[in-house]
C-alpha cells in the first residue's frame, strides 16, 4: 500500500473549498509527532493554520511559490528550535514528509512550501514574515509550510521509465547499479 501511494504521489496545489475534517487533521498531527528525529530530541513544533485570513497572509510569505495557500483549507507550519538540535532541518524535513504521506493516505493532497532560505520581499525573509504573523517566539526557525486539502486537479504519476536510475551507483561511484543488476539476472 505504501509503495502504490508513493508511486502515485504528486505535489498538488489546487484544492476544493471543502475543509479538512478535524479527525484527519488529528491524524496528520499524529504522523508529524511520530516522525523520527535525531537522538529522539523532537526539536520541531507545528502550527496548524485553518483561519482563512492567516492562510491568505501566509500565501504572501514568498515572492513566488506560496500563492496557492490562499485557497488551501489547511497549512501546517513546521518549525524548530535550533538550540535543541543541530540537525533540526533534517528533523523538520522528515516531519514535513510524514505529513505529506499521511495526507496522501487519507485521500488528501499536499504541497511543500519552502520557507527557510527564502524571501518575502527584498528586505524581509520568509521566516521573519511567518514568525511575525503567527506570533512565534524569537529563536524558533521555520522550515516549511505544508499545504493540505482535497484535490481540485489531477496529475499523472511519474512514469517508472522516467526515473533517473543513472543516479544510482553500485559499490563504487560511477558503476551503474542497473547494469550490475542486469548482469546478475540476464534473463529477466
Ligand atoms: C524541499 C522542497 C521545497 C519545495 N518548495 C516548494 C515551494 O516553495 N513551492 C511549491 O509550489 N512547491 C515546492 N516544492 C514542491 C516541488 O516543486 C515538487 O515536489 C517538484 O516540482 C516535483 O513535483 P512532484 O512533487 O509532483 O513530483 C518543494 C518540494 C521540496 C521537496
Q: Which three cell numbers stand for residue 55?
A: 492562510
Residue 144, classed as helix, strand or coil, is strand
pLDDT tens track for 125-175:
999 999 999 999 999 999 999 999 999 999 999 999 999 999 999 999 999
Closest listed residue to residue 83, CA positions, set 143, 142, 145, 140: 140
Per-residue burial over 111-132, b if 16 or more Cβ lie within 10 Å, else e, is bbbbbbebbbeeeebbbebbbe
Instruction: Please check the confidence at residue 102 and state whether its pLDDT lies above 90.
Output: yes
Residue nearest to atom 8 of ligand 1 (CA): 113
Report pLDDT for 188.
80
Instruction: Please check the confidence at residue 51 and state whether its pLDDT lies above 90.
Output: yes
Q: Would the CB of 114 count as within 6 Å of ligand 1?
A: yes
User: Domain residues of the chain, as ranges?
Assistant: 2-149, 158-188
- Rounded mean pLDDT of the chain? 97
Task: Please calculate the CA angle 129-130-134 and round it to the nearest 5 degrees.
Answer: 120
For 16-33, what is the mean pLDDT? 98
Q: Do 104 and 39 meet the contact criterion of CB atoms below 8 Å apart? A: no
Per-residue burial over 24-38, b if 16 or more Cβ lie within 10 Å, else e, is bbebbeebbeebebe
For 31-49, what is the mean pLDDT? 98
Q: How far apart are CA 13 and CA 18, in angstroms?
A: 14
Give whole-number Cα distances, 187 to 36, 104, 179, in Å: 40, 37, 13
Q: Would the CB of 136 count as within 6 Å of ligand 1?
A: no
**2-149 falls under which CATH superfamily?**
NADH Oxidase (3.40.109.10)
CB within 8 Å of 109: residues ≥ 6 apart? 10, 12, 15, 103, 148, 149, 150, 151
Q: Which atom of ligand 1 is nearest to the CA of 13?
A: 11
For ligand 1, the distance from its centroid to the CA atom of residue 112, given in whole angstroms, is 6
For ligand 1, the distance from its centroid to the CA atom of residue 121, given in whole angstroms, is 20
Q: Would the CB of 11 count as within 6 Å of ligand 1?
A: yes
Q: What does the DSSP assignment read for 48-109?
A: EE--HHHHHHHTTSSSSS-GGGGG-SEEEEEEE-TTT-TTHHHHHHHHHHHHHHHHHHTT-E
- Report if pTM > 0.85: yes
Amino acid at each position: 500500500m505504501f509503495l502504490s501511494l508513493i508511486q502515485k504521489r504528486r505535489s498538488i496545489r489546487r484544492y476544493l473549498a471543502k475543509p479538512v475534517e478535524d479527525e484527519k487533521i488529528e491524524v496528520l498531527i499524529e504522523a508529524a509527532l511520530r516522525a523520527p528525529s535525531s537522538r529522539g530530541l523532537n526539536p520541531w513544533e507545528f502550527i496548524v493554520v485553518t483561519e482563512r485570513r492567516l492562510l491568505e497572509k501566509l500565501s504572501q510569505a514568498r515572492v513566488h511559490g506560496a500563492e496557492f495557500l490562499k485557497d488551501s483549507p489547511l497549512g501546517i507550519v513546521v518549525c524548530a528550535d535550533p538550540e535543541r538540535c543541530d540537525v533540526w532541518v533534517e528533523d523538520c524535513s522528515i516531519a514535513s514528509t510524514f505529513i505529506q504521506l499521511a495526507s496522501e493516505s487519507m485521500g488528501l493532497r499536499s504541497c511543500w512550501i519552502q520557507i527557510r532560505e527564502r524571501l518575502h520581499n527584498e528586505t524581509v525573509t520568509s521566516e521573519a514574515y511567518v514568525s511575525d504573523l503567527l506570533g512565534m517566539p524569537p529563536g524558533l526557525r521555520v522550515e516549511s509550510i505544508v499545504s493540505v486539502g482535497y484535490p481540485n486537479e489531477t496529475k499523472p504519476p511519474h512514469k517508472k521509465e522516467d526515473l533517473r536510475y543513472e543516479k544510482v551507483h553500485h559499490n563504487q561511484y560511477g558503476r551503474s547499479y542497473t547494469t550490475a543488476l542486469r548482469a546478475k539476472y540476464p534473463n529477466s
